[in-house]
Amino acid sequence: MKIEKCTIKNNEYAYEKPNEDFMITDIDKGIYIVSDGVSRSPKMGKYPNPSPSAEIAKIFSEKLYQLMTLKAEEISESMSQKDLYVSIFPELRKFNQLKFPVMNYNEEDYAGLVCISVFVYNNCIYFSYVGDCIGVFLGKNRINVFTEFQTDVVDIFKRNNKSLKNLTEVIRRDLRNNIESEYGYGVLNGDFEVMNFLKEGVFQYEEGDRLVLCSDGIRPVIDHNLDMLKNGKCDEIIKKSIELENLYSIRSDDKTIIIVDF
């Protein structure tokens, strides 16, 4: 087994907007995590740097890694990381309440993240995710994007409600972590309702298979050049993603990718 990994920041807001992705890889323990801090609203025309979203992505990922290390057997028995996620929520809530004592869903909005976490054990891949981080399994005869793009519904809502003056506020207040809405989406920010959006699963792998985990900055490749993941290297995939962003006028985003070759 071998792994390759890489992360680069977006090119929006010149050098102002930091990389809000965070990743952890531990080949010995079979733990792989990609987190993506949710983009924030600029404040007085500038993007917040340091970014609370980058901070909370790091906090969640490091705590999850610690718990996955301690609870490895439980994950394999229950085939779930749900309890681990939930146990971190009080820490996320405390972070946000201290950082944003007054919350207005705009410049002063709780920081959050989306995440995919994987535990590899005994020829099985146990995965959990919330949001639009991506998991792709490449077997000998198939390619399986095993995650859903949960935030696509938000783009549909935006297109259908362009005239709303407070569109960002409405999305964050009424749709975030709201499973009752057809446009609802999940963000890990300390709100327990996000667990309605947690997706989990397990599947087996064989020697020669490949696992790719990435933030949605790699989505242009997923959508337009999926076969590249079969043999592509991290730097090649990131370069192609940037090319596709420019070709299709896609907003630049942070790009993080982990490749595990079994």
Confidence of residue 64 (pLDDT cuts 50, 70, 90): very high
pLDDT digits (tens, 9 = 90+) for 78-102: 999 999 999 999 999 999 999 999 9
* 135, amino acid identity: G
Q: Could you give the C-alpha distances from 168 to 33, 154, 193, in angstroms and in order?
A: 28, 10, 20
- Provide the CATH number for the domain around residue 18: 3.60.40.10
**Cα-Cα-Cα-Cα dihedral of 247, 38, 114, 249, to 10°?**
-10
Instruction: For residue 40, give the 3-state DSSP assignment.
Output: coil
Q: How far apart are CA 191 and CA 177, in angstroms?
A: 8
Residue 217, amino acid: G
Q: What is the pLDDT of residues 100-111, one digit of tens each?
A: 999 999 999 999
Task: Confirm if 217 and 256 have CB atoms less than 8 A apart.
Answer: yes
Percent of the chain with pLDDT over 90: 91
Q: How many structural domains is the chain composed of?
A: 1
Domain enclosing residue 27, as ranges = 2-261
Q: What is the pLDDT of residue 45?
A: 80
Query: What is the tens place of the pLDDT at every residue in 190-219?
Result: 999 999 999 999 999 999 999 999 999 999
Q: pLDDT tens digits, residue range 9-50?
A: 987 655 678 999 999 999 999 999 999 999 999 888 888 999
User: In angstroms, rounded to a whole number, what is the distance separating the alpha carbons of residues 204 and 152?
Assistant: 28
